[in-house]
Amino acid sequence: MNRFVTAERAMRTAAPHEVLDAVRRVLVEEYAAQTVQLYLADYGLTVLQPVAVLPETADPVSVHNSPAGRAFGAQEPFVEQVRGGGVRMHLPVTVRGDRLGVLTVALADEEEARDLLGELAEIAEVLGHEVLVAERDTDVYLQARRKDRLTLAAEMQWQLLPGRSCARPEYELGAQLEPAYAIYGDNFDWSATADRLMLYVTNGMGEGIEASLLTNLAINALRNARRAGIAIDDQACLADQAVYAHYQGRCYLSVLMFDFDLATGRAKLVDAGSPQLLRLRDGVVERVSFEAQLPLGMFEETDYVTQDFRAEPGDRLVFVSDGVYEAASPAGESYGDAALARAILSTRLLSAAEVPRAILRELTGHRGQPTPKDDALVVCLDWHGR
């Protein structure tokens, strides 16, 4: 049995909380690794947190200015020379475009390490898949991702999300929420088949647990309708009825819904509220407006009508909640179209997965304070087409 198969089998047969220990044993015994460490990106995408079981501890490393952070940002293996000899290989741990973290492996023989780079990168990819599966049965990896304590509302919101990024030949998606450890009701959701991509961007109402409960109800109502094979306008109708039946119009939820045809870029959409869309095409940023309809749950039995949209290869679509668009500076000036356009242009060379966090950093500078008064959500969709 070759070494790669040994590593793969060890991870798949390990207990959920021992997946890292299993791959570490194989890397030490079969590849002569000196040290092995798994780092997972924290909820705020600012640091890479080491996976360790207490009382073991290790220091986090920066996403922005560390060798591991370089591998995470570029999504390419990075080989770091170690003083005194040997190398550390920083290997992205990514699952279908969802960037989870970095596997760092130290080897004494630099030449052998370079020969093994491709094989170890594949092991890091398998590790990512196994971590996602293991999270159903253990909290070890979810605990490792948090550098601060999550509020209960934020805990509920993060568990509701599909991931923070994904990639297919036709498109790349990235998304991020602020404040990462205390979000209320903003949300995003996506689901793809062989032929279609459905994308929902949600702007929640209220604060704390109440906002999170409202968003949970609406998103699960939309998913329930989507998984029944119902068209996007009827999904909106059914979710509207579910929210109204519970809240009787006291609370409601804004959502922008897209159903893309992957072969053509054509989409049916429902604009039920306040999320905004800006498009970068041929170096020009413009706001794309639709005919707004009522938010979900505002009135009983609202009818929703689809509108048409088309994405062209090379388009970058950036969706933002009102916590971004209406964020005020210390002087009371809203962020608005002009500042968003500048931020989108300044990040045009970044991947879709990196754009949301970069725009939110720009927003923090405009706001003049690190903690926003409202949820801020950015979703970036790069359309490649077929």
How far from chain centre, in Å, is Cα 271?
A: 22
Q: Please state whether the peptide bond connecting residue 55 to the residue before it is cis, i.e. omega within 30 degrees of 0.
A: yes
Distance separating alpha carbons of residues 342 and 346, to the nearest angstrom: 6
Adjacent-strand bridge partners of 80: 88
Which DSSP string corresponds to 143-203?
A: HHT-SSPPPHHHHHHHHH---SEEEETTEEEEEEEESTTS--S-EEEEEE-SSEEEEEEEE
Distance separating alpha carbons of residues 9 and 5, to the nearest angstrom: 6
Instruction: Answer yes or no: are the C-beta atoms of 180 and 151 closer than 8 Å.
Output: no
- pLDDT tens, N- to C-terminus, the chain (386 residues): 599 999 999 999 999 999 999 999 999 999 999 999 999 999 999 999 999 865 556 789 999 999 999 999 999 999 999 988 899 999 999 999 999 999 999 999 888 888 999 999 999 999 999 999 999 999 999 999 999 999 999 999 999 999 999 999 999 999 999 999 998 889 999 999 999 999 999 998 888 899 999 999 999 999 999 999 999 999 999 999 999 999 999 999 999 999 999 999 999 999 998 789 999 999 999 999 999 999 999 999 899 999 999 999 999 999 999 888 888 888 778 888 888 999 999 999 999 999 999 999 988 888 777 676 778 999 999 999 99
Enter the tokens of residue 30. Answer: 């079969």
Distance separating alpha carbons of residues 235 and 239, to the nearest angstrom: 6
Distance separating alpha carbons of residues 103 and 91, to the nearest angstrom: 5
